[in-house]
Amino acid sequence: MKRIVVYKSSTGFTAKYANWIAEELGCEAIELNKIKKCDLVKYDEIIYGGWLMANMVCGYNKINEMNLKKVIVFGVGMTVPNDEVVAKLAEQNKINKDNFFYFEGGYNPKKVGFFKKMMMNMIKKSIEKKEEKTAEDLHMLETFKGADNTNREAIKPLIDRILEV
Ligand SMILES: Cc1cc2nc3c(=O)[nH]c(=O)nc-3n(C[C@H](O)[C@H](O)[C@H](O)COP(=O)(O)O)c2cc1C
């Protein structure tokens, strides 16, 4: 089985997961903008990872348009993971839920540009305004200060799914 991990990462968290997954599978991890369709068609299975922006898996459109043989997708965002979050993301991105995984990344304000940071500050303010904050809200507010919430253990279900353990 010829596999490759392809990813799009803006501040490094998705790249971290992509490299962990490649290490576990004993294959290469490469950035989306460094590989072309003519090279990807040579693989039996593509594991694609993109960071989340406004609930969309960045770069997935490009991969989807290539009509590749088999694609497993993972999204990386700062939302706290749970089954409902994962199901909603799969639906919004039009990905079969059996082929979709979500991992918690983090937030690095030092690497986020001005306009994107403004968007994030609006979300942060809307959480701050809530009178009754959930545990997830408090965790998100901590993450907004700058945090790496990546966890190598989280990739296990994806690895098991790929290796059909
Ligand atoms: C403009 C913007 C929009 C974002 N939208 C979402 C989102 O919809 N859901 C989410 O969970 N995280 C969202 N995030 C957080 C990033 O997905 C998160 O920081 C991720 O770990 C970045 O991955 P990267 O380091 O690979 O770029 C957003 C971040 C920015 C800057």
- Residue 61 CA to residue 56 CA, distance in Å, equals 9
- Residue minimizing CA distance to atom 10 of ligand 1: 77
Q: Ligand 1: does its nearest atom lie under 6 Å from the Cβ of 105?
A: yes
Q: Ligand 1: does its nearest atom lie under 6 Å from the Cβ of 13?
A: yes
This prediction's pTM: 0.97
pLDDT, tens digit, 9 for 90 and up, residues 126-152: 999 999 999 999 999 999 999 999 999
* 69 pLDDT tier (thresholds 50, 70, 90): confident
| CA 1 to ligand 1 center in whole angstroms | 32
Q: Is 56 exposed, middle or buried (0-12, 13-18, 19+ CB in 10 A)?
A: middle
DSSP E strands in 3-129: the ranges are 3-8, 28-31, 45-53, 56-57, 71-77, 100-104, 106-107
Q: What is the CATH number of domain 3-108+148-163?
A: 3.40.50.360
| CA 143 to ligand 1 center in whole angstroms | 11
pLDDT, tens digit, 9 for 90 and up, residues 16-64: 999 999 999 999 999 999 999 999 999 999 999 999 999 999 999 999 9
- Residue 100 CA to residue 79 CA, distance in Å, equals 16
- Residue 56 CA to residue 40 CA, distance in Å, equals 22
Q: Ligand 1: does its nearest atom lie under 6 Å from the Cβ of 51?
A: yes
For the chain, the domains span 3-108+148-163
Q: Ligand 1: does its nearest atom lie under 6 Å from the Cβ of 119?
A: yes
| CA 106 to ligand 1 center in whole angstroms | 8
Q: Which atom from ligand 1 is nearest to the alpha carbon of 8?
A: 26
Q: What is the dihedral of CA 157, 163, 164, 165, to 10 degrees?
A: -70
- Residue 107 CA to residue 155 CA, distance in Å, equals 19
List the Cα angle 126/132/133 in 5-degree steps.
Answer: 65
